[in-house]
Amino acid sequence: MKIAPSVLSADFANLGREVEKVSLAGADYIHLDVMDGIFVPNISFGAGVIKSIRPYTSVPFDVHLMIEKPRRYINDFLNAGADIITIHKEAEPELDKTIREIKLGGARCGISIKPATDVNDVLEYLPFIDLVLVMTVEPGFGGQSFIADMMSKVRVLRNEIDKNAFSTLIEVDGGIDSNTVKIAEKAGVDICVAGTSVYKAADVKKAISTLKLSQK
Ligand code: DX5
Ligand code: ZN
């Protein structure tokens, strides 16, 4: 399993060092949760913060935009050094144009769906995107419980991707720990985001290795 630690649970006073720490501990991606207080009830950080921590690691930046009409800000996140930019299906009326702009800008593009969103709503985009992010909690906060029912969406996606030989990756986000990672692995997930279970662990390196053991 590939692991993307989410810095939402890190020490914000030392973000550069926190990113460096999980990189040395084996992180496959650094997951960066951008929240605007409108699409989700919480506010986190924006492109400026991401740009300032970019020099601390060469691990790819997986930027999860939980913001209304993200198209307005794609250039900012490209300039900040995002490698993957994931936008929410529910937040962007101009999805096609936004996907094109992200890819033309040289980044990989992901589409995310909230727990209440039908997985069939994203199937038509699979040939054009690099990643689908299935939320396994209601977006907005770290530390919530994994919604195992979301694995039915993962199974639909896995089947559709394999059947058509697409290269789209499946990522899940929320409530991932040493138990739930196994459920995700079984359903066919490629990348697990993990905030609390990595950053609040006594031994970060051990926490990441344990999650990665669910090998794909
Ligand atoms: C929630 C964020 C997640 C969050 C996951 O809206 O998208 O990335 O940081 O946190 P944990 O792993 O603690 O559930
Ligand atoms: Zn996230």
Pick 2-213's CATH classification: 3.30.930.10, 3.20.20.70, 3.40.50.360, 3.90.1720.10.
3.20.20.70
DSSP E strands: which ranges in the chain? 2-5, 30-35, 61-66, 84-88, 108-113, 131-135, 169-173, 191-194
Q: Of 39, 185, 60, 41, which is closest to residue 110 (Cα–Cα)?
A: 60
State what percent of residues in the chain have pLDDT above 90: 99
Read off the pLDDT of residues 149-173 as tens digits, 9 standing for 90 and up.
999 999 999 999 999 999 999 999 9
Mutation pick for ligand 1 pocket among 144, 177, 189, 204 (CB with most ligand atoms within 8 Å): 144
For the stretch 182-198, pLDDT in tens is 999 999 999 999 999 99
Say if pTM beats, i.e. exceeds, 0.85.
Answer: yes
CA of 37 to the centre of ligand 1 (A): 15
17 CA from centroid of ligand 2 (Å): 20
Percent of the chain with pLDDT over 70: 99
Is the CB of 9 inside a 6 Å radius of any atom of ligand 1? yes
Residue spans per domain, the chain: 2-213
Residues catalogued as catalytic:
33, 173
Of residues 216 and 146, more confidently modeled:
146
Statement: residue 71 has pLDDT above 70: yes
Q: What is the pLDDT of residue 70?
A: 98
Ligand 1 within 6 A of CB of 114? no
Mean pLDDT along residues 59-85: 98
Looking at residue 214, its pLDDT comes to 75
Instruction: Locate the ligand 1 atom nearest the alpha carbon of residue 64 and give its number.
Output: 7
Q: What is the pLDDT of residues 100-135, one digit of tens each?
A: 999 999 999 999 999 999 999 999 999 999 999 999
What is the amino acid identity at position 40?
Answer: V
Residue 179 predicted with pLDDT over 90? yes
- Beta bridge partners of residue 113, listed in sequence order: 134
Mean pLDDT for all residues in the chain? 98
Residue 106, phi then psi, degrees to nearest 5: 95, 5
Angle at which helix 15-24 crosses helix 204-212, to 10 degrees, equals: 50
Strands 61-66, 191-194: pairing is: unpaired
Q: How far is the CA of 33 from the centre of ligand 2 (A)?
A: 5
Query: Is the Cβ atom of 176 under 6 angstroms away from ligand 1?
Result: yes
Q: What is the rounded CA–CA span in Å between residue 80 and residue 64?
A: 13
- Confidence class for position 216, pLDDT limits 50, 70, 90: low
- Does the structure show a pLDDT above 70 at 77? yes
8 Cβ below 6 A of ligand 1: yes
